[in-house]
Each structure stands twice: as C-alpha cells, then as structure tokens.
Amino acid sequence: MRSVLPALALTLTLLPTLATAQDPGAVLVDFDQKRGGTENMTRLAHVENNPGAWKAADIELEQDPGRPFVYVSGFVNYNFFIYDLTNPSAPRELFQWTIEDPDLHRGIGAMDGKYFKTGGRYYYVQSFQFNPGSPDGDLGAVIFDVTGLPNPASVREVARIRYAASPGGFHNIFAYKHSTGRALLFSTIGGDRALIWDLDKIVSGAPEADWLVGNVPNPTPMRQMGASGYHDFYVGFDPATNTDKFYGAGLGGYSTWDVTDPAAPTLLFTITSLGMDLAHTFTPSPDGRYAVTETEYQYTPLRIWDLQDGQAGRTQNIDQPISAWTSDWRTLPHNHEVRWPYVFVSGYEDGLQVFNLKDPHNPESEGGFYTCNCEHGKGFGGSQETGWQGGPSVMQGAFGVDVRNHDGLVVISDMRTGLWTFRMAGFDGWNGRDHGVPNISSVQDWDRGPERSRPIP
C-alpha cells in the first residue's frame, strides 16, 4: 500500500492557498452598523427636506455651471423643493411647491422631476401619481418656468399635463434633446406604452391636442401580474448609427427602440430571460455597447449586459447577462447613473454606492455612503391608510441619484432622510471623451443637441 502521508502533507500545505482562492468576498456589514461611508466618499451636506417618515423620491441636478440648482421630489408629501448648491456643503432652500388641497389627495405623489431648456428659458417638470378617485387622478406632470432662479418669486407654473385615458399619473419621465432639435418628454403611464410629449409645444401654449406626438409600445410586459406598462427608461443618441434610441424597462423585460422618428418608433431588440420580473431600470453605456439593468425585487443584483449583438441586428433578443453587482446580497440596489466606467447607484438601504465597469465582466466596488440609517426590512409598502408601512420591505433609503458632469458633484435623495451631497475622491467631473467613449449620459446638451461625429477640440 502506498503511503498517503506525502499526499496528505501536500494537501495541508496547499490548504491555506485553496482557502484564499475560494474567498467568498468581503464580510457583510451588519444592518445596525450601516453608518458613514468609505474613505474615498466625502459627505458634504445632509438636509431633511420634509417632516415625517417619508421625505423624498427622485432628484435632478441642473448641469450648467452658472445654475447650481437641485430639485428634490417630495414623494408622498405631494411637493417638491429647489435648493441652491452654490455651496454644496450648505444647500440653501429656494423654493417649495405643494399640490393644492394635499390633504384630499391620495397616491404616492411627487415621484420624478427633470429640467430642460428650450427657447432660451429653463423649465422644471415634476411628475405626479395620484390614484383614480383622488383629485388629479389624471394629472401626470406640472411644468414650471425656473429661468429666474435663484429668485424664487420668478418661478411660475406654465402647464399641467393630464392623461385621463390612463389615470394614475407618470411614475417616471425623461426629458430628451432629440437629434432634430426638439425638446421631448418621455413618460410612463399605467398602460402598455410610454408617451412622447413635445415640450416646445407645451410651453409655447399650443393646443393640448398637439402635445402628444408619439408613443413607444411595451413588448415585454409582466404578464403574470397584468403589468403592461414601462417602469422607467433612458433615451440617448447613438453616434455610431446617428439615431436616437429609447432603452425601456418594461416590467417583464427590456427593449431598445429607434425613436429617431418619434411618431414611428422601431423595435431593435429586447432583453428577456428568467428573473426579469419587475424590470425596472435600463441604462446603456455612452456607446450603447453595454447596459446596466435593475429588477425591483429583494436579493436581485444589478445585471450587466453586452448589447453588441442586439445593436448590430444580429439577434432580436439577448438573454444572458455578462456579470452582476450588488453592495449587499440581502438588500436591493435601486436607480443608477452611468458615467462610464463608473456607475453611481442609489442603493436603497445601502445609500450611495459606486462601482466601476473598467472590465464589464468584473464589476468592482469603488465606495459608498450609508444614507438610510434605518431598520432593515421596514421599508415602503402598505397603503396611505397604514402610513405606507406594510409587510417586510427593503424599499427604503436612497431612491434617486444624480451626478453633475462639470465638477463631479454627486447627490442622493433618500426616502427616509432627504437630500445628501457628496464628493468622491478622484472624481472631479465627467466627459466621456476622457474615457474613450462618446460624451453621452443622461445629461442633455440643450443648446447644441446630442453629440454627433464632431471633431474633438
């Protein structure tokens, strides 16, 4: 019989090495220890914008250096706030607006806001969701002229967008500078499509019948729940094909459309697969090669996709992600902003999180800051009658995130705690060209339109 001792000795020698190679990763932070942040993330300011348990939904930064304003949607408080971030360490409240008779309204209220510029004037559009049976059940958004900021007395309401055919309002909106120069607003509705509105017509006082200029059907509904509409989307220009593209999260999967002609969108490809339930957010890289997606259920990570075959027309459906990322497998990341190769995440209970996709197959965490400071699993749910508390839920904490391209300021809107401002070490701003990609992000060039094949100055 051959001695087993040499083999045993060899195994014992290699055991530590093997154990390291199978390292499962960093130790998870206990829920009650989720305070503060990583060394490279500096918290500049924190403002509680609303009283009560629920303070904010989404957030929007203006991008012009001479207009340091941020807009915070007030969620179930049915209001929104405008802050001056001339000093990002000391946000100054400039303006607050609340729907009339808020006590008589029912619904989740002020959800998403976007700013846009057209005709030399600046506007802010606030989306609302009120229940059918509540006042303003057909109200989707209210548009304000904010050109005169920081003078709050100059802010004036210019229009309300209503859509009675699908009551319940607009959960998400996206303001887009189309390649034709038009300012368009894409909105979700409860129905089976996204709507496309002409902002120039709206703010110029054109007849309401002329406001709606197109729609994008949803080819990936969540059939098992009868959820036919989009939840969110991103619209961006594709310089490789000189087309405007719509990336939609359709609750049952994702789809990409050519919306160069808003009146006649063309489906390019879809992403459907197992686990795509509650497909929630879909953000491509600046060149459209990769994408980050979110599905809105606990434990699911953000998925990273290679869209090349879809973009090139070689496939009608993509069904395999190339990688995934999460900050804590026990929770849920929410929205995100891509500033390639960085992805800034509003990570619900995990606050602000940032990871990089320098190698899209191997996402790496960069840092973060806990903003929720909340009890795990006691998130948003239930109904208005129960104070929006129901069964176990991780939907609380960082709801929205935005990045200011000219100086790298990062902001978070936290459902529980309000407005936060941050700086990440080494991130002093973003221009895609510095990273070998088109200078395309959710930020719109409202003066010149999307970047085409312009020579680099």
Partner 1 sequence: MLAGLLLLGGGGPYDILFLPTRAAPEARGTARLHYATSPFGVAVTAEGVARWTVRFTLEGLPPARSIGNAQGYVAWAASSDLREWDRLGTVTNGTATLGHVARNKFMVVVTAEQDTTTTMRRGPTVLSGISPSSWMQPLLTHALFRGIPPG
Given the rule CB under 8 A, which residues bind partner 1? 101, 103-104, 106-108, 129, 131-137, 166-169, 171, 188, 190, 225-227, 229, 231, 278, 296-298, 380-386, 390-393, 395
Q: Which is nearer to partner 1, 169 or 397 (CB)?
A: 169
Q: Least separation, in Å, of the C-beta of 385 and partner 1?
A: 5
Containing 290, the helix (H) or strand (E) segment is strand 290-295
Tokens of 322: 């190339």
Chain-centroid distance of CA 221 in Å reads: 20
CB of 163 to partner 1, least distance (A): 12
Question: CB-wise, 136 or 238, nearer to partner 1?
Answer: 136
Smallest distance, Å, CB 225 to partner 1? 7
- Nearest to partner 1 of 382, 436 (CB atom): 382
197-236 burial, b for 16+ CB within 10 Å, e for fewer? bbbbbbbeeeeeeebbebbbbbbbbbeeeebbbbbbbbbb
DSSP state of 63: -
Distance of closest approach, residue 371 Cβ to partner 1, in angstroms: 19
Tell me the C-alpha distance between 419 and 400, whole Å: 10
Q: What's phi and psi for 51, nearest 5 deg?
A: -75, 175
Q: Which is nearer to partner 1, 130 or 369 (CB)?
A: 130
Quick one: 227 or 307, whose CB is closer to partner 1?
Answer: 227
Alpha helices by DSSP H, listed for 98-148, are none
Rg of the Cα trace of the chain?
23
Least gap, CB of 370 to partner 1 (angstroms): 21
Residue nearer to partner 1 on the CB measure, 108 or 199: 108
Angstrom distance (rounded) from CA 198 to CA 46? 36
Residue among 144 and 230 whose Cβ is closer to partner 1: 230
Copy the structure tokens of residue 153.
């007395």
Q: Which residue lies nearer to partner 1 by CB, 106 or 117?
A: 106
Q: How far is the CB of 227 from partner 1 (least distance, A)?
A: 5
Task: In angstroms, give the least distance from the CB of 394 to partner 1.
Answer: 9
Tell me the C-alpha distance between 337 and 344, whole Å.
5
C-beta pairs of 64-69 under 8 Å, 24+ apart in sequence: 65/406, 65/407, 67/122, 67/149, 69/94, 69/115, 69/146, 69/149, 69/150
> Rounded CA gap, 232 and 250, in Å?
7
Q: What is the smallest separation between the CB atom of 278 and partner 1, expressed in angstroms?
A: 6
CA distance 338 to 282: 10
Residue 188 or 442 with smaller CB distance to partner 1: 188
Query: CB-based contacts of 289: which residues, under 8 Å, 6+ apart?
Result: 306, 307, 308, 311
Q: How far is the CB of 109 from partner 1 (least distance, A)?
A: 10
Q: Do the strands 232-238 and 212-217 form a parallel or antiparallel pair, or are they unpaired?
A: unpaired
Q: Rounded to the nearest whole angstrom, what is the least distance from the CB of residue 102 to partner 1 in the complex?
A: 9
Query: Taking Cα atoms as reference points, which of 50, 47, 54, 53 lies closest to residue 70?
Result: 47
Q: Which of 124/388 has CB closer to partner 1?
A: 388
